[in-house]
Amino acid sequence: MANQNGEKYGFTGLFPIATNQSDDLRAFLRTLDDPQTYPRGSPLSHVPIIHMARMFIVDRLAYQGTPAKFDGSSRTIWCSCANSMARA
Amino acid sequence: MADRARNQYGLGKAVTFNVITPMTRFGTFVVGLLLVIFDRFKSTQVTAKELAFLPFVHWVVVKRDSFPRVSDSQPAEDLHYDYLFFLSTFNGPWGPYIEAFADVLYKPLDLVWFWSVGYPFARPVGPLKAYIQRNQVESDHSYSAYPGASVRDVRSALELRNEVEKLFQSSSGLSPERFAVEFDRLLISVQNKLGTFGPV
């Protein structure tokens, strides 16, 4: 299984974001490492099997320049991605 | 600096790195095959494991018709390409990280990223850095269970634990004076394994 390496499992998830909600979501995500609220750096610290994780929002896909084709439009805002390693 | 894990003591040593690059359908087929080979034959991962600044690397292919929608009312994506997600966590600065990849892992990098539109090859490293900057997405939240520990710190800690366990097993019955001698011998032998665990 390509998601697994030894005892560790690599999870990648794509989640669609409702229209016009990505700015609010991004602002919220950036508060998650507040040490006052989460001394260990993240609410994910409460899940003991997670080694590492990241979340990011893809607003647009980069245009590679001519002759490549342009993908997506400004109104197309579609996913955040979480990736973690955990003991399988 | 949301791309760097942290805790109440400060910023950690782990930096998340996300690059999304477009591929044609044929490129997706080839890359899928290559990743199966890399996964099946673990010897292909040896060089990456020997890089002491790389806790985590993950390649994911997302086909153009696999991007999810909130509901049927949200317009479906109409994309020209499939996308390759390169997700990694590294220790140290961004520039030297890319340079080390280009220097040590240029063959697998070129093999996989060759099929991404616009990829300039790993060498020279200047165009590669520009390509990565164009396609890199900064993390909005990063977490590490041990943000103060680099790969070197973890490996050193594991070796240190082994040495301490050996001393524990061999020291029963020793006099206090003899134990002190053996402990000093251990301490001298593990000087290079006492890492600086903590915030950057």
Residues forming a β-bridge with A85: A10, A52
Report ipTM (2 d.p.). 0.87
* pLDDT for the residue A85: 58
Q: Which two tokens stand for residue B68?
A: 């999810």
Mean pLDDT, range B125-139, rounded to an integer: 94
Q: How confident is the model at residue A76 (pLDDT cuts 50, 70, 90)?
A: very low
CA gap B119, B127 in Å, rounded: 9
Size (chain A), residues = 88
pLDDT band for position B193 (50/70/90)?
A: confident
Using the beta-carbon criterion (under 8 Å), do A35 and B144 form an inter-chain contact? no
Residue B155, SS3 per DSSP? helix
Task: Name residues 116-155 of chain B within 8 A of A (Cβ).
Answer: 117-118, 134-135, 137-147
Give me the amino acid identity at B50.
E
Contact at 8 Å (CB) between A17 and A78? yes
Q: Residue B69, SS3?
A: coil
Q: What 8-state DSSP symbol labels residue B166? A: H
B44 and B112 in contact (C-beta within 8 Å)? no
Residues from chain B contacting residue A87 (CB–CB below 8 Å): none
Q: Do A15 and B16 lie within an 8 Å CB cutoff?
A: no
Q: Give the per-residue pLDDT at A9.
A: 83
Cα dihedral across residues B184, B160, B199, B52: positive or negative: positive
**Do residue B67 and residue A79 have CB atoms under 8 angstroms apart?**
yes
More confident residue, B42 or A75: B42
Q: Is the pTM of this model over 0.90?
A: no
Question: How close is the nearest chain B Cα to the Cα of A21, in Å?
Answer: 12
- The pLDDT mean for chain B works out to 88
Among the listed residues A74, A9, A86, A8, the one whose alpha carbon sits nearest the alpha carbon of residue B75: A74
Length of chain B: 200
- Spell out the residues 6+ positions from residue B120 whose beta carbon is closer than 8 angstroms to its own: B127, B128, B130, B131
Nearest to B20 among A61, A65, A80 (CB): A61
Range with lowest mean pLDDT among A29-33, A49-53, A74-78, B79-83: A74-78
* Alpha helix (H) residue ranges in B20-124: 25-40, 46-50, 94-104, 106-113
Phi, psi of B195 (to 5 degrees): -75, 165
Q: Residue B72: what pLDDT?
A: 80
Per-residue pLDDT tens over the stretch B1-46: 788 888 777 788 888 999 999 999 999 999 999 998 888 887 777 7
